[in-house]
Amino acid sequence: MAGSAISIEPLTAEVFATFGQVIQIEGAHHYPINGGMTERFHDLAKVELGGDSARPLISIFRGQPYALPLSLRLVERHPLGSQAFFPIGAASWLVIVAEDEGGTPASIRAFRPAAGQGVNIAMNVWHGVLTVLDEPSDFIVVDRGGDGNNLEEHHFPEPFLITCSTAEPL
């Protein structure tokens, strides 16, 4: 399958469920707090932490833009924790994920989040790097710190080409 073209799909909670959760307020459980002055959108993603001395990390990543079509040469996964990305502002970006087939990424998919959407990529799920389009963008990232190797990379012998679908203009 190496070298195939991959079209970008819209991101929905239903189609992304195999890979983790979509972080969004639409349809989320919510309730007022702080004397009714704040609305809490509660429990939007499952933070997963495994291994020794695990602790959650909150970071800000600043992604530089990629151009389409994108030559996908590398994916990674984190065997000891989930990794959540939520844009600060109106970022244009892609989420690239793959199923695992005997320790190797397979059935690669590319999603374009809508405004106000982030993702929590489940523990041990193959995914592309932060893929920002158009302009540099900042993201709040929640992932795992602690002992152990929490990064595995896979380099494809032939790159995949991520292309813009004619039905979904970017």
Pairing of strands 137-145, 55-63: antiparallel
Pairing of strands 5-10, 104-112: parallel
- Using an 8 Å Cβ cutoff, are 151 and 47 in contact? no
Domains recognised in the chain with CATH numbers: 5-163 (2.60.120.480)
The span from the CA of 105 to the CA of 119, in Å, is 19
Q: What is the pLDDT of residues 126-161, one digit of tens each?
A: 999 999 999 999 999 999 999 999 999 999 999 999
Peptide bond into 105 cis (omega under 30): no
The span from the CA of 161 to the CA of 73, in Å, is 9
Q: What is the pLDDT of residues 8-23, one digit of tens each?
A: 999 999 999 999 999 9
Residue 28: CA count within 13 A, CB half-sphere:
17
Q: What is the pTM of this model?
A: 0.91
The span from the CA of 138 to the CA of 148, in Å, is 27
63's tokens: 């992604």
